[in-house]
Structure 1
Amino acid sequence: MSVDQATVRRIAHLARIKVSDEDVPHLQEELNAILNFVEELASVDVDGVEPMTSVMPMPMKKRRDEVTEGSIAKDIVANAPASEDHFFVVPKVVE
């Protein structure tokens, strides 16, 4: 798969990133390199390989499941620029 300059501009638009015209070719090369690496990884046979969290086998640290102090929504949204009924108010970005 190869990314063209129109696709780079579309990705930048979707990500809400301003990209100048002189940066588009460089980003195109970067995205193509990433996609080539992903294709290379897809060719590796991983049948029978267990998922790991580390190169050294170790149990995952888990926190204890215990009830903590709740009902602190007022404190959580205290520094928010806008809140309503203990929820953050954010601008609508999807129509």
Structure 2
Amino acid sequence: MAIDASEIQKVAHLARLSIDDSQVEATANTISSILELVDQMQSVNTDNVEPMAHPLDATQRLREDVVSEVNNREQLQSCAPAVEDGLFLVPKVIE
């Protein structure tokens, strides 16, 4: 899929990007080559390939789920302008 200079200028305008006129043709060539690579990758047969979440076969190390801090709710809420049932009250911003 080839991209021409007019499309680059149109997309740059929509994206509010400033591309110098001397760079438009080079940018079009670069984007065209990227799109050609994507087309080439899409033509590869991946029917028997299992999807991977990560390229390395790694497992997440888990830690024990224990409380590690003291409950300071009353102390932290003592300077709040409005508190109810242990919750901070804030002004409504969405109606």
- Asked if these proteins are the same fold (TM beyond 0.5), I'd say yes
**Structure 1 letter corresponding to 2:93:** D
Match of 1:11 in 2: 11
Unaligned stretches of 5+ in structure 2? 66-86
**Structure 1 letter corresponding to 2:54:** S
Please, what TM-score do these two structures have when normalized by structure 1? 0.59
**Structure 1 letter corresponding to 2:13:** H
Measure how far apart 1:37 and its partner are.
0.5
Match of 1:32 in 2: 32
Match of 2:93 in 1: 85
Write out per-residue CA displacement over residues 63-91 of structure 1, whole angstroms, 9 at most, x where no aligned residue.
x9xxxxxx77x6xxxxxxxxx928xxxxx
**Structure 1 letter corresponding to 2:52:** M
Please, what TM-score do these two structures have when normalized by structure 2? 0.59
Higher helix share: 2
Match of 2:20 in 1: 20
Write out per-residue CA displacement over residues 14-59 of structure 1, whole angstroms, 9 at most, x where no aligned residue.
2110111101011011101101100110111111212112222234
Residue 2 (1) aligns with residue 2 (2): yes
Measure how far apart 1:60 and its partner are.
6.0
Match of 1:45 in 2: 45
Larger radius of gyration: 2
Percent identical: 28
Distance 1:60 1:30, change over 3 A: farther
- Cα RMSD (Å): 3.0
